[in-house]
């Protein structure tokens, strides 16, 4: 079936027998680009090699953690050295304090960190803590925001605006989904109306300050400030989910770069583990003291704070703390904008925030780049598959869905960016004609 990648295809067939859908996480199945998964064997810097020995420049970068590139020598060395002394103690280790200090250096208004192993867990704990601290049950989220796969957040908007949510996955009880209110981004009036009606029942609003999981739906700071004001006024907590944006554009949180968007709780993941499973919940001492063993909010993890994963995070944050990486990434991003400006295709739209980048194949020349998930045209997204396979064959590994953003890392080069855009320019007009 796949003449380009026979070995990947063979492995996929074998996986299919033993693993549901052949994958450990659904988007990896390449369904939305009408392809089959690639099996990778090795990666270094901005490059990955598949099981057939084919080389690609990677713009997916493990979905965000690898801001320094694949297998950065300092990170690999830290992992190897630490691993020699044991992989997990299920007990305390000094690395916990060091990584907590490195994280808190980026969040000056926060006081404490609890480590977990995935963003999903961090978010799940944040909600439980918020519900406990406020004595309320309802949560507000925005459609197009992704917060992992815990039950309370596998929820989409019901029919009508600002109704109680309905589950977006089978197996989530209706009564739980109904505790989550789902609003569109960028609608202050609806937000305020929702708080007028439900304000005394809302425990927390959870929001990605830089939404980057269903396109890059960068929001106006004024809207985020309104979210902060509503929550404060009604005694609800503001949880900034910075699993993707934390340490991505600057050393610390994206929310802290905006005035008046100070969080009560912040969730982190991805970059803080440097490619290993580390996530964190960050907050004030007062709020965090609700967590067991001090308080009555239970949270735990066999492998939480294990020394090997933390070592990868420490090595990554130490390098990021020098701040040069952010200048380099911004320069690469500017280079990307300039290259894109040169190809000038009427239906190509893009949005970039630092080293996060999304492009959108608009259906008409006057269609604007959406800022709300509701305005993303499904048809525009499905056109992406026509681009994905030819770009793969040219050696560019793009995320396997038009909803997903691309990531630049410190290991990418201006030449790679030029090459990507040049080939995009070559493939794109074809795509428009075929439409």
Ligand X SMILES: *Cc1c(COP(=O)(O)O)cnc(C)c1O
Q: Is 219 in the site for ligand X (CB under 6 A)?
A: no
How many Å apart are CA 121 and CA 337, to the nearest integer? 36
Cα separation of the two ends of the chain: 25
Binding segment (CB under 6 A) for ligand X, from list 118-126, 162-170, 331-339, 340-348: 118-126
Q: Which residues pair with 282 in a beta bridge?
A: 113, 266
Burial 358-376 (b: 16+ CB within 10 A, else e): bbbbbeeeeeebbbbbebb
Per-residue x/- mask for ligand X, residues 162 to 201, rule CB under 6 A?
----------------------------------------
Residue 147 or 371: the one with the smaller Cβ distance to ligand X is 147
Report the residue from 241, 404, 416, 431 that binds ligand X according to the rule CB under 6 A. 241
Q: Is 119 in the site for ligand X (CB under 6 A)?
A: yes
Q: Are the C-beta atoms of 347 and 361 separated by less than 8 Å?
A: yes
Residue 12 or 254: the one with the smaller Cβ distance to ligand X is 254
Interacting residues with ligand X between 400 and 429 (CB under 6 A)? none
241 given a catalytic annotation = yes
Residue 66 or 340: the one with the smaller Cβ distance to ligand X is 66
Residue 360's H or E segment, with its range, is: strand 356-361
Sort strands 237-241 and 265-268 into parallel, antiparallel or unpaired: parallel
Q: How many residues belong to the site for ligand X (CB under 6 A)? A: 14
**With 0-12 CB in 10 A as exposed, 13-18 as middle and 19+ as buried, what is 399?**
buried
To 5 degrees, how large is the angle CA 412–CA 348–CA 396? 35
CB of 281 to ligand X, least distance (A): 12
Q: Is 255 in the site for ligand X (CB under 6 A)?
A: no
Question: What HEC string does 179-202 produce?
Answer: CEEEECCCCHHHHHHHHHHHHHHE
CB of 357 to ligand X, least distance (A): 15
Residue nearest to ligand X (CB): 119
Q: Is 208 in the site for ligand X (CB under 6 A)?
A: yes
Cα 169 from chain centre: 20
What letter would DSSP give residue 345? -
Q: Is 118 in the site for ligand X (CB under 6 A)?
A: yes
Report the residue from 93, 207, 243, 280 that binds ligand X according to the rule CB under 6 A. 243
Residue 252 or 269: the one with the smaller Cβ distance to ligand X is 269
Interacting residues with ligand X between 140 and 169 (CB under 6 A)? 146-148
DSSP, collapsed to helix, strand or coil, labels residue 136 as coil
- Residues known to be catalytic: 146, 241, 270
Give residues in contact with ligand X (CB under 6 A). 118-120, 123, 146-148, 208, 213, 241, 243-244, 269, 279
């Amino acid at each position: 079936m796949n003449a380009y990648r026979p070995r990947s295809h063979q492995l996929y067939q074998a996986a299919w027998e033993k693993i549901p859908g052949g994958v450990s996480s659904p988007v990896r199945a390449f369904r939305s680009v009408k392809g089959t998964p690639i099996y990778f064997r090795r990666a270094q810097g901005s490059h990955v090699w598949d099981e057939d020995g084919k080389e690609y420049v990677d713009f997916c970068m493990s979905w965000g953690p690898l801001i320094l590139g694949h297998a950065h020598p300092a990170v690999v060395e830290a992992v190897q050295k630490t691993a020699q002394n044991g992989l997990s103690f299920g007990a305390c280790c000094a690395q916990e304090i060091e990584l907590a200090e490195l994280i808190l250096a980026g969040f000056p208004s926060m006081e404490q960190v609890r480590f977990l192993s995935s963003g999903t867990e961090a978010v799940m704990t944040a909600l439980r803590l918020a519900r406990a601290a406020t004595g309320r049950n309802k949560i507000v989220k925005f459609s197009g925001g992704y917060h992992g796969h815990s039950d309370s957040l596998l929820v989409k908007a019901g029919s009508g605006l600002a109704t109680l949510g309905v589950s977006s996955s089978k197996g989530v009880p209706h009564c739980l989904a109904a505790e989550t209110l789902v609003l569109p981004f960028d609608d202050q009036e609806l937000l305020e109306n929702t708080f007028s009606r439900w304000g005394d029942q809302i425990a927390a609003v959870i929001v990605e300050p830089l939404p980057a999981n269903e396109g890059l739906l960068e929001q106006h700071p004024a809207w985020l400030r309104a979210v902060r004001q509503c929550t404060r006024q009604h005694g609800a907590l503001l949880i900034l989910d910075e699993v993707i944006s934390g340490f991505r554009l600057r050393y610390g949180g994206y929310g802290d770069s905006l005035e008046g968007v100070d969080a009560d709780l912040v969730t982190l993941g991805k970059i803080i583990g440097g490619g290993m499973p580390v996530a964190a919940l960050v907050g004030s001492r007062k709020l965090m003291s609700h967590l067991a063993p001090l308080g009555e909010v239970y949270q735990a993890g066999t492998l939480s704070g294990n020394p090997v994963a933390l070592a990868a995070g420490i090595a990554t944050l130490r390098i990021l703390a020098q701040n040069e990486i952010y200048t380099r990434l911004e320069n690469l991003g500017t280079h990307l904008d300039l290259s894109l400006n040169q190809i000038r295709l009427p239906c190509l739209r893009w949005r970039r925030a630092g080293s996060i980048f999304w492009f959108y194949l608009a259906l008409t020349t006057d269609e604007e780049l959406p800022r709300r998930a509701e305005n993303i045209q499904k048809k525009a997204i499905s056109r992406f598959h026509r681009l994905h396979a030819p770009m793969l064959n040219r050696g560019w590994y793009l995320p396997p869905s038009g909803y997903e953003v691309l990531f630049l890392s410190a290991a990418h080069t201006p030449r790679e960016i030029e090459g990507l855009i040049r080939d995009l320019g070559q493939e794109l007009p074809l795509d428009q004609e075929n439409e």
